[in-house]
Chain A
Amino acid sequence: MEKGQLLDLYRKMVEIRRFEENAAEQYAHGKIGGFLHLYIGEEAVAVGAISAMEPRDHLVTHYRDHGYPIALGIDPRPLMAELFGKATGISGGRGGSMHMSDPERNFWGGYAIVGGHLPIATGIALSNQYLNREAVVVCFFGDGSTNTGAFHEAMNLSAVWKLPVLWICENNLYGMGTAVEYVSAVRDMVKKAGAYDIPAIQIDGQNPLEVREATEKALEHCRSGQGPFFIEAMTYRFRGHSMADPEAYRTKEEVETHRASEDPIVRFSRMLTEDGVATQAELDRIDADVEQEMEEVVRFAEDSPVPGPETLMDHIYAEPVPVR
């Protein structure tokens, strides 16, 4: 990879991190309500995978969904405005943290019923196959969703119809606050893919280059008409499940251990400097740049208007209903 590309991966991860740190701060100030699920610690999965995708490919994900649009290069201002519940939000203030999308970038959105978006991903993949669009749907989900019926129905449908969908399981070891070993008879999610004869690989999700390489190969497989592929990216969530999570289910020491050894940004920056790709000063400059960008992002959200009450009933249906 060229230096520019490598630095772009670094920058995207830092953008996600700073965006979410700012969001957490604004949440504490009461500017953001409801749910706010942070992706902090897992940035390398989205950034690595998306860097391997082509513009024609599609992306569907779960409710912890801020990282993906940022990795796709979507303007972060409407993302923050959405968290603020503003008219300029990417979903006009109707969706919130969990429901961001951008059809122009084939980003089909974040979905908030665990497992619910997997069947939808198979359907988007079917439409691509049916209409001979040589695009792959990349669907992200957590370890928790692999215990839902929707997961198993979607796996089976994707395999039996050889749908061009790449399943990426982000195994962060916890479904909300419950550790995988208490709720899943099978702890390696790749084995679940094996039950449907879907080729699968388990990778280090904290290394964006490893994620990128695995995704490239997987996309090739899906594009060649051989059906779905399954990647299990081992990762770790550094923050609570949501802002309301006191994290009673894991020790501070556990989190600190992971943070110390597995922070994808720290690891990647060390790799870049040790390999002589970039100097620490160059990385610091990117950090400062992003810092400034995020200040503007928050300001944009702050200054934007709230949605007009007259728009409340818009978009219940796509086609008008006569007023009686």
Chain B
Amino acid sequence: MAREITYRDALREALHEEMDRDERVFLLGEDIGAYQGSYVVTRGFLEEYGRKRVRDTPISELGIVGLANGAAMGGLHPVVELMTINFSLLAIDQIVNHAAKLHYMFNGKFTVPVVIRTASGWGQLGATHSQTFEGWYAHVPGLRVVMPATPRDAKGFLKSAIRGQDPVIFIEHSLIYRNRGEVPEGEYTLPLEGAEVRREGKDVTLVSWSRGYYLALGAAEDLAKQGIEAEVIDMRVLRPLDIDTVVQSVQKTNRLVIVEESWRTLGMGAEIAAAVQEHAFDYLDAPIARVGSLEVPMPYAKNLERLVIPGKDEVLTAVQGVLARELVTVH
């Protein structure tokens, strides 16, 4: 049996269930307690679990993540909330030089089962609050990076991340917290691996993740009205990356469009495109197209912001381009 709940409620259920299951699971972050969480994911948790397990922290991203790394090494299962992924840059030394490395460089003697929840997103927030850096973290061996699009994945991934032994960068998106989707009744976890074909098609493959997946899906629905059947793949997990699912799809459709909200330069799309041409060069009937943000710091004005972030129209234009066998660079 499944029911429809929001992405936010799916996260809340995961946190509740894991905190009830294991006393060693605790939450820490800026304004997650008394303030209820910037995106209200942790509303009511402080009242229910108390200050020991729901810890409002100072504005100290580096300190918080370092502390969580140490707590994880010491036998706890910390779930850090970094208000937005922009602020994760302040903690990047603890993420890249510590969480990702300690298990390996100490020859497996320590584990760092830390979960770092953070949110990507935009919406007239300006240059420093509108970025997304999943590619930066997916670059690093030792991290697991997930960017779920659906409530079902959000819940199942978060539970697995908390139960797992590896550091997980868990990236949410401020514009999909209200999205509803089917979530199984009762307990379930999902392994932190694998892309999923969410819509089958034979003419072109659209690959994306997080909010970009909904963009791709919307474009696919429009294309269907024109008689073009797009296959839509939600990457879900960005490290380890499941390139096989994309390759298999491209072997069928022979055309690939990658949709991302980040800048295209050195982004996830660049990695996916490179891997696909390595594995499916002979199957490609057109150059791989990437749809991403314009390479500019995000402006505040609404009309300018709209020019930067790709929308459905840009995806449709890119699809027309690969169907016409022309190289189209949209954004």
A binding-site residues for B, Cβ under 8 Å: 91-92, 94-95, 99, 101-103, 108-109, 111, 113, 116, 118-128, 130-131, 149-150, 153-154, 156-157, 160-161, 314-319, 321-322, 324
Q: Is the CB of A317 within 8 A of B142?
A: yes
B262: interface (CB < 8 Å)? no
16 contacts between A and B (CB under 8 A): A95-B107, A103-B109, A108-B73, A113-B93, A113-B97, A116-B94, A116-B98, A120-B98, A123-B71, A124-B70, A126-B71, A150-B63, A156-B58, A157-B60, A316-B141, A317-B142
With A122-B63, A153-B63, A154-B63 in contact, do A318 and B103 touch (Cβ < 8 Å)? yes
B69: interface (CB < 8 Å)? yes
Q: Is the CB of B60 within 8 A of A101?
A: no
Q: Is the CB of A319 within 8 A of B164?
A: yes
Q: Is the CB of A318 within 8 A of B71?
A: no
With A120-B66, A130-B52 in contact, do A314 and B108 touch (Cβ < 8 Å)? yes
Provide the bound-state CA to CA distance between A119 and B65, in Å. 8
B152: interface (CB < 8 Å)? no
Provide the bound-state CA to CA distance between A324 and B248, in Å. 12
State which of B52, B69, B102, B141 has its C-beta within 8 Å of the C-beta of A119: B69
Provide the bound-state CA to CA distance between A101 and B104, in Å. 12
Provide the bound-state CA to CA distance between A148 and B65, in Å. 16
- B90-114 contact mask (Cβ, 8 Å, vs A): 1 or 0: 0001100110001111111111010
B68: interface (CB < 8 Å)? yes
With A153-B60, A319-B164 in contact, do A324 and B66 touch (Cβ < 8 Å)? no
Q: Is the CB of A101 within 8 A of B74?
A: no
B5: interface (CB < 8 Å)? no
* Residues of A contacting B240 in the complex (Cβ-Cβ under 8 angstroms): 321, 324
Q: Is the CB of A317 within 8 A of B103?
A: yes
* Residues of A contacting B103 in the complex (Cβ-Cβ under 8 angstroms): 315-318
Q: Is the CB of B108 within 8 A of A318?
A: yes
Provide the bound-state CA to CA distance between A321 and B242, in Å. 11
Q: Is the CB of B69 within 8 A of A123?
A: yes
With A119-B63, A121-B70, A154-B63 in contact, do A130 and B76 touch (Cβ < 8 Å)? yes
* Residues of B contacting A154 in the complex (Cβ-Cβ under 8 angstroms): 63, 66-67
Distance in Å from the Cβ of B29 to the closest Cβ of chain A? 13
- B217-260 contact mask (Cβ, 8 Å, vs A): 1 or 0: 00000000000000000000000101110000000000000000
State which of A92, A111, A124, A153 has its C-beta within 8 Å of the C-beta of B71: A124
Provide the bound-state CA to CA distance between A240 and B100, in Å. 30
State which of B98, B107, B108, B243 has its C-beta within 8 Å of the C-beta of A113: B98
* Residues of A contacting B164 in the complex (Cβ-Cβ under 8 angstroms): 318-319
Q: Is the CB of A317 within 8 A of B93?
A: no
Q: Which 9 A-B pairs have the closest CB atoms?
A: A123-B70, A119-B66, A127-B74, A153-B63, A318-B165, A92-B107, A120-B70, A123-B71, A315-B108
State which of B70, B109, B165, B243 has its C-beta within 8 Å of the C-beta of A122: B70
In the complex formed, the residue of A with least CB distance to B53 is A130
* Residues of A contacting B147 in the complex (Cβ-Cβ under 8 angstroms): none
Q: Is the CB of B105 within 8 A of A153?
A: no
Q: Is the CB of B66 within 8 A of A122?
A: yes
Q: Is the CB of A95 within 8 A of B63?
A: no
State which of B55, B74, B93, B141 has its C-beta within 8 Å of the C-beta of A116: B93
Distance in Å from the Cβ of B242 to the closest Cβ of chain A? 6
Q: Is the CB of A120 within 8 A of B106?
A: no
B72: interface (CB < 8 Å)? yes
State which of A102, A157, A314 has its C-beta within 8 Å of the C-beta of B67: A157
* Residues of A contacting B67 in the complex (Cβ-Cβ under 8 angstroms): 119-120, 122-123, 126, 154, 157
With A120-B70, A154-B63 in contact, do A127 and B106 touch (Cβ < 8 Å)? no
Provide the bound-state CA to CA distance between A314 and B107, in Å. 8
B7: interface (CB < 8 Å)? no
B40: interface (CB < 8 Å)? no
Provide the bound-state CA to CA distance between A153 and B102, in Å. 21
Q: Is the CB of A116 within 8 A of B63?
A: no
In the complex formed, the residue of A with least CB distance to B28 is A126
State which of B24, B76, B105 has its C-beta within 8 Å of the C-beta of A91: B105
B8: interface (CB < 8 Å)? no
Q: Is the CB of B165 within 8 A of A109?
A: no
B209: interface (CB < 8 Å)? no
Question: Known contacts A120-B98, A324-B243; can you find 12 more A-B pairs with CB under 8 A?
Answer: A91-B107, A94-B104, A94-B107, A95-B105, A119-B64, A119-B65, A120-B69, A122-B67, A126-B76, A150-B63, A318-B108, A318-B164
Chain B 8-29 interface residues, beta-carbon cutoff 8 Å to A: 24, 26
Q: Is the CB of A127 within 8 A of B76?
A: yes
* Residues of B contacting A126 in the complex (Cβ-Cβ under 8 angstroms): 67, 70-71, 74, 76
Provide the bound-state CA to CA distance between A102 and B110, in Å. 9
Q: Is the CB of B107 within 8 A of A119?
A: no
Q: Is the CB of B62 within 8 A of A149?
A: yes
Provide the bound-state CA to CA distance between A321 and B164, in Å. 12
B193: interface (CB < 8 Å)? yes
Q: Is the CB of B93 within 8 A of A94?
A: no
Provide the bound-state CA to CA distance between A292 and B203, in Å. 76
Q: Is the CB of B58 within 8 A of A160?
A: yes
State which of B93, B107, B165, B244 has its C-beta within 8 Å of the C-beta of A150: B93
Provide the bound-state CA to CA distance between A317 and B71, in Å. 18
State which of B64, B65, B104, B111 has its C-beta within 8 Å of the C-beta of A316: B104
B75: interface (CB < 8 Å)? yes
State which of B66, B166, B193 has its C-beta within 8 Å of the C-beta of A318: B166
Distance in Å from the Cβ of B322 to the closest Cβ of chain A? 25
* Residues of B contacting A123 in the complex (Cβ-Cβ under 8 angstroms): 66-74, 78
- B140-169 contact mask (Cβ, 8 Å, vs A): 1 or 0: 011010000000000000000000111000
Provide the bound-state CA to CA distance between A91 and B104, in Å. 9
Provide the bound-state CA to CA distance between A119 and B63, in Å. 5
